[in-house]
Chains A and B, each alone.
Chain A
Amino acid sequence: MIPDLGKYAGAVLGAYGASILLLVLLVAVSLWQAARIKRALAGVEARAKAGAATEATDA
């Protein structure tokens, strides 16, 4: 399946390997941060909503 890269196989595969690794890392970190902040914000918003409801009841 892999084409015959001849004497430059190491260079070509190294370039593709390093690039794909960097791209996968970037995408993974971006997705992980997005999920983490989304979850944390949902928690804070729920707390804020609960706090507002309690204040309304007390009033």
Chain B
Amino acid sequence: MSIWEYANPKKFMETSARLLPWVTGFAMVSLLGGLFWGFFLTPDDFRQGSTVKIIYLHVPAAIMGTSAWFMMLVTSLIWLIRRHHVSALAAKAAAPVGLTFTLIGLVTGAIWGQPMWGTWWAWDPRLTAFLILGLFYLGYIALWAAVDDPDTAADLTSVLCIVGSVFAFLSRYAILFWNQGLHQGASLSLDAEENVSDVYAWPLWTCIAGFLLLFVTLVLLRTRTEIRARRMAALLSRERMAG
């Protein structure tokens, strides 16, 4: 059995229908559980006070904001190379989800930054790259909406996705090689010296799992909607030709 079988819309619809209830359940449990754990059951930080609780929204949202773009990059490349329609539709379906996560990352970062850094915003490399990524999401969604022919729209948005990947990469990794700006290093890392304390790390990992599963849930749901919309457009076009 090959992964390319899922490029068949019928196969994708069958498999996603079976997966959706499970992924949705796990997403709700981990997201609500993680947020409850973080908000109600963790102590204040000795420096940040209660604003440390914002980490459970900001870090998962920022991780998924960039990861969604990388997922769109992979599916866009599959479209460009193998011309599988489901992969182009999955990229289209993921964009509003990625944009929402990016917005949450920006808003929660600003709300945290005001009391901690003394400013809502700084033109820091990571923040700026993340803001530009948000603008790329808007441009990507607008481009899909602006082009009538779906294959041309998929081609153009795929190219835009490749270009925007530079900013997804920068917003994720700028902190490693661009040693300036306000934004601190990674909150979670394989290097134990950099990590946040365990009391914050476990609920944070739970929230990250929750955001990831919510992303998968919404992309599956929205891709199914896109496939149905494409089928409806084909049937309507056939109807017009017959009439």
Q: Across the interface, which residues of B come within 8 angstroms of A15, CB to CB?
A: 54, 57-58, 107-108, 111-112
- Most A CB contacts (10 A, CB to CB) among B39, B115, B218, B225 go to B225
Distance of A40 Cα from B234 Cα, bound (Å) = 13
A1, A22, A38: the one contacting B104 at CB < 8 Å is A22
Number of interface residues of A (CB under 8 A): 34
Shortest Cβ distance from residue A33 to the other chain B in the assembled complex, whole angstroms: 5
B-contacting residues, A38-55, CB 8 Å: 38, 40-41, 44-45, 47-48, 51
With known contacts A15-B57, A26-B100, A40–B50 Cβ distance under 8 A: no
Q: Is the interface of A mostly helix, strand, loop or mixed?
A: helix
Residue contact A8 to B115, C-beta cutoff 8 Å: yes
- Closest residue to B49 on the A side, CB-wise? A8
Q: Across the interface, which residues of A come within 8 angstroms of B96, CB to CB?
A: 26, 29-30
With known contacts A11-B111, A41-B232, A51-B242, A19–B61 Cβ distance under 8 A: yes
Residue contact A34 to B39, C-beta cutoff 8 Å: no
B49, B97, B108, B236: the one contacting A18 at CB < 8 Å is B108
B40, B97, B235: the one contacting A45 at CB < 8 Å is B235
Distance of A38 Cα from B49 Cα, bound (Å) = 48
> What 10 A-B pairs come out closest when comparing CB atoms?
A5-B50, A15-B111, A15-B108, A26-B100, A41-B232, A34-B225, A15-B54, A19-B57, A8-B51, A8-B50
Known: A22-B103, A23-B214. 15 other contacts (CB 8 A): A5-B53, A12-B50, A15-B54, A15-B58, A16-B53, A18-B107, A22-B100, A26-B96, A26-B97, A26-B218, A30-B218, A38-B228, A41-B228, A41-B231, A45-B235
